[in-house]
Chains A and B, each alone.
Chain A
Amino acid sequence: MKSAALTLVDPTGEDLVKEPHAGPRPVSADAASAGDGAEAAEREGRERMENLLRVVLLPAVTFALVLLGWTVMQKTLVPAFPDVPAVWNKAVEVFSDPFYVYGPNDMGIAWQVMYSLGRVLAGFGAAMAVGIPVGFLIGSSKTFERAWLPLINILRPVSPLAWLPIGLLIFRAVDPSAIFVIFITSIWPMILNTAAGVKAIPQDYLNVARVLNFNRREMVTRIYIPSTLPYMLTGMQLSLSTAWMVIVAAEMLTGGIGIGFYIWDEWNNLSVPSIIVAIVIIGGVGIALEAVMNAVRRRYDYTMQEG
């Protein structure tokens, strides 16, 4: 069971280097441009209804079908599985007091999530601090690239969890080890995307900078960093979503407070409803992290501000 839980998580995606899309986005035709006011308003209302149907109704149907299938399966094939009401009751119980603290190893679900998020942010931040400068070096120096890329290519496909024992050996404590695993998870996309971004700086921008006699510092702050920023943000987004996946597995192994160990603990308690509730919470937090990164990119990525 333990090994099965580990193989479920493969955090290393193939396309670590994702180019930020350039070019203007298609602009939808203005709905009110044709026809007179009343007709346009009516059409607008109808379109809004259709949108509502698409955005709310279709997913609702899917959810309903899944719940139905779950219920049917539970009643017929796997009676050991909790039914929908059992999970619902568990969710109500979990969410009714998310901030309780009964002891160092017994805290509410909100604390569990926050401890996990804290580890993710610590590892992610450390990876930023190291990965972005290293990415700049690899992107701007052929020598540095030749020297370091083979090593990175060997280490990159390794599941970050393989580093957990190394972390335990080095730090002799579980918390820094979990952070270390997140650091390893996050650093490869940051290095590779930053390097790709530096390499993609058009010669024209550099020529502009040279005509203006920019010194090294101005070159970095005025050209290199802003030009590379979309790539860095792509790398950060990839890192963050993968890190959130990896932390669950890492915490299952390290124990302590955290959503990953919460799942493992509930499995040992044979409380499957709690596990299902935790899965939904993990998904929700993942969506929230993605939304935060999207907001950051909309704010700072000039390729997303076109049109």
Chain B
Amino acid sequence: MDKHQAQLHVSKLGKTFNTRSGSFEALRDVELSVGKGEFVSIIGHSGCGKSTLLNLIAGLEDPTLGGVLLEGELVQGPGPERAVVFQNHSLLPWLSVYENVRLAVDKVFAGRKSSVERDEWTREMLSLVNMDHAANKRPSEISGGMKQRVGIARALSMEPKVLLLDEPFGALDALTRAQLQDSVMDIHARLGNTVAMITHDVDEAVLLSDRIVMMNNGPAAGIGMIHEVNLPRPRRRLELGENADYLAARAAVMRFLNENRIEKAA
């Protein structure tokens, strides 16, 4: 934290859902600060409320208690400065790859960029994720990994202050996932975005993150532990296999998840 200027601050955040079968407290007292340019992963078991936390930061849901501050301002509702890459890409199937990104560019830069500039920016974003070759394809014509690349391009095209990734690689096969993780690391290195990523993959969390936020199990989930990953960048996944820091981080996360699993079962 000390090396970053705090950009995103989650303060005393709580969320209770009112369902037909009564109220359910998903999150309680979540405190988290994310520095500018920092890459933070949020990891935890299924149903621990990590997606709820991301939705609260995104503004897609309103907190019951506490709040989210972005550069000192209270988050109220969703907005392009907190762009989300959704788990299942969420590309609009009636638009081409180009049009999906252009839709966001047109909305966010209306009045700020000319039509030519918006076109150039859209193409630049597509080439950033290596999807410029498929600009005119429909989402149904490209693979799952490619769709997620377009989803990332769309989110980045909004020039978000914070990029939110909701289990972005969860639905992909292992090889595609590794490629996309490398792409995300590369983009993060070049653009220096602040990133918060939900994941349930320990290796992914360790490989990509500056810090790993581990959430304990709900109901009334909160942050159980935070682990700093002090690995130098750029990180190469093949070299990390025997790195002591990597293995230590991995072990710490695994231990936490395992303990929480037992706690839940008891």
Chain A residues within CB distance 8 Å of chain B: 24, 202, 204-205, 207-208, 210-214, 218, 222-223, 226-227, 229, 302-303, 305-307
Residue of A208, A213, A229 most packed against chain B (CB within 10 A): A208
If A204-B90, A222-B103, A302-B93 touch, does A211 touch B82 (CB 8 Å cutoff)? Answer: yes
User: In the complex, A205→B90 CA distance in Å?
Assistant: 6
- Distance of A202 from chain B, by nearest CB (Å): 8
Report the separation of the CA atoms of residues A222 and B106 in the bound assembly, to the nearest whole angstrom: 12
- A227-B92, A227-B94 known; 12 new pairs, CB 8 Å cut-off, are A208-B90, A208-B92, A211-B58, A211-B78, A211-B79, A211-B158, A212-B104, A213-B79, A302-B93, A302-B140, A306-B141, A307-B140
**Size of interface on B: residues with Cβ below 8 Å to A:** 24
**Chain B neighbourhood of A204, CB < 8 A:** 86, 88, 90
B158 partner residues in chain A, CB cutoff 8 A: 211-212
Tell me whether B86 and A302 are in contact (CB under 8 A). no
Identify the B interface with A (CB < 8 A): 58, 60, 77-80, 82-84, 86, 88, 90, 92-95, 103-104, 107-108, 138, 140-141, 158
Alpha-carbon gap, A187 to B88, bound state (A): 36
Contacts of B86 in A (CB 8 A): 204, 207-208
Count of inter-chain pairs, beta carbons less than 8 A: 59
Known: A211-B78, A213-B80, A214-B107. A205 touches B138 (CB 8 A): no
Q: What are the residues of chain A within 8 A of B107 when measuring CB–CB?
A: 212-214, 218
| Bound form: Cα–Cα A307–B142 in Å | 10
A210 and B94 in contact (CB under 8 A), knowing A302-B138, A306-B140? no
User: Could you tell me the dominant secondary structure of chain A's interface residues?
Assistant: helix
Q: What residue in chain A is nearest B92 (Cβ atoms)?
A: A205
Contact A210 B140 (CB under 8 A): no
Partner of B90, one of A207, A214, A226, A307: A207
Which A residues are CB-close (under 8 A) to B80? Answer: 211-213
Find out whether the CB atom of A305 lies under 8 angstroms from the CB atom of B138.
Answer: yes
Q: Complex: how many Å from CA A222 to CA B99? A: 11
Q: 3 shortest A-B CB distances, which residue pairs?
A: A204-B90, A302-B94, A306-B140
Q: Chain B residues near A305 (CB, 8 Å)? A: 138, 140
A303 to B138, CA, bound (A): 11
